[in-house]
Structure 1
Amino acid sequence: MYFINKVILALVLCVSSTTLWCQKTNSNNLEIGVLAAGDEALYYGGYSKYTTPLSQNKHHFTLAFSIVAYFDFKGESEPNATLKNDIDMRLLPTINFGYSLNFNSVQINFEVPVGASIAITKGTLINKKIGFKKTYSNTETFFNYGLSFSPKYKLNSSNSIGIYSFIPLVSDKAQSGYQIGIGWTKNISVKN
């Protein structure tokens, strides 16, 4: 445990020092967008991501923190019961390790998001055969990681639009599946 704490502290110091140093060339950015997701059902939601570059190079490594939230309002049914008036939600907080390729007006980002998949389901469980009706609530958390690809078109020096995509490399019981969306990115300059 002591070794893990030392490794985490070393990573935090390394990232924070390189982040301060690299702001002269590459700036932090904040990205927000809407998406559709899912394997077995279609979910709709949004995402937000804060990215910081880790070097001054034209093509550079990045570290990002993101949160994705998507919802499904369609009722689910089992052979003996039905879930009515339900909300099926997924929250995916992640840390993204990435590489950014920068060209004249195009930026291509490859990332490996690592984090959690939190599945929240709430509704009313109904069994008409036996006259059963009960409020239902369930929350489960799973480890989640995958690959993300997001090309962006630079509108000007501080704004970009692009496509966001995520392919999970792990299958969980909550079916936290594929994601595709469109987003807007705002560069945040740091004055030195």
Structure 2
Amino acid sequence: MYLVIRRIMALCLLTVVSTLYSQNTNNGSLEFGALVAGDEALYYGGYGKYNIPLSQNKHHFTLGFSMVAYFDFKGESEPEAYLKNDIDMRLIPTANIGYSLNFKRIQLNFEVPIGLSMAITKGTLVNEKIGFERDFYNQEIFFNYGLSFSPKYKLNRSNSIGLYSFLPLIEDKTQSGYQIGIEWTKTFANRANRSAGN
């Protein structure tokens, strides 16, 4: 009798898991994009993000993890000195809490990215007045958060293109500013969804 009950429970569990798998409509996705950023100067870069849906509702909350990197290769100058051959870089890792509105081919994503802004500057410091050159390196780390809006157009079940925008709600002394760009999204749909789409 105990063996029969165990087999029935195992069969029920397998049925539930199979049903949930076949009804899975929201799946994880990976985004890549190119962007421009900055306040005082324009920076150029890119980003990657992994998104996880938190429910199977048509409109649902999401959790994402992203890394943004952008660069400025224009030398900086002060009254007495300037940098040459320099790279001014921002690395911004964040966790993103968001909400996704889904229509036929349009998806609207609203997010609050929370993370760090790492400002790294390296180059050669030159002071022609006193005649010296030396290697220069500086790194600053700041808390970073803001608002992000990303409308997307679904090309098919697995691919989307869209825009990406981020507005920081905190100012740091390295001017880690706004970001705007274009993105491509690859959704990892399960086998049942791909079959349903064919």
Q: Are residues 1:34 and 2:49 paired?
A: no
Q: Is 2:113 aligned against 1:113?
A: yes
* 2:183 match: 183
How much does 1:190 deviate? 4.0
Is residue 134 of structure 1 aligned with residue 134 of structure 2?
Answer: yes
Post-superposition shift, 1:25?
1.6
Following TM superposition, the consecutive aligned residue runs of length 4 or more in structure 1 with deviations greater than 6 angstroms are none
Match of 1:116, as an amino acid?
Answer: L
- What amino acid is the match of 2:93? P
Which residue does the alignment assign to 1:3? none
In our comparison, the structure showing a higher alpha carbon Rg is 2
How many Å separate the matches in 2 of 1:33 and 1:149? 14
Q: Distance in 1 between matches of 2:28 and 2:55?
A: 11
Post-superposition CA distance 1:63-110 (Å, at most 9, x none): 000000000000000111001110000000000000000000000000
CA distance in 1, matches of 2:79, 2:132: 14
| CA deviation vs aligned residue, 1:5-42 (integer Å, no higher than 9, x gap) | xxxxxxxxxxxxxxx98x81201000001000000110
Secondary structure at 1:181 match in 2: strand
Cα distance in structure 1, aligned partners of 2:191 and 2:106: 24
Q: Which SS does the other structure have where 1:77 is aligned?
A: coil
Residue in 1 that maps onto 2:15? none
1:121-148 CA-partner distances (Å, limit 9, x unpaired): 0000000000021100011100000000
The total of aligned residue pairs comes to 173
1:43-122 maps to which residues of 2 (within 5 A)? 43-122=43-122
Q: Give, in whole Å, the separation in 1 of the partners of 2:122 and 2:69.
A: 15
Shift of 1:152: 0.1
In 1: Cα distance, 2:169 partner to 2:96 partner: 14
**2:147 matched to which residue of 1?**
147
Could you tell me which runs of 5 or more consecutive residues in structure 2 were left unpaired when the two chains were aligned: 1-19, 193-198
Structure 2-normalised TM-score?
0.84
Per the alignment, residue 16 of structure 1 pairs with none
Q: State the match for 2:25 in structure 1.
A: 25
Distance 1:81 1:95 in 2: 38
The percent of aligned pairs where both chains have the same amino acid is: 73
Question: Where in structure 1 are there 5+ consecutive unaligned residues?
Answer: 1-19
Amino acid at match of 1:139: Q
Shift of 1:189: 2.2
Q: How does 1:4-19 map to 2 (within 5 A)?
A: none
The Cα of 1:44 is off from its aligned counterpart by 0.2
2:157 — aligned with what? 157
For 2:118 and 2:173, the matched residues in 1 are separated by 11
| Rounded Cα–Cα distance in structure 1 between residues aligned with 2:56 and 2:78 | 55
Measured in 1, the distance between the counterparts of 2:144 and 2:127 equals 33
Q: CA RMSD in A?
A: 1.6
- When normalised by structure 1's length, the TM-score is 0.87
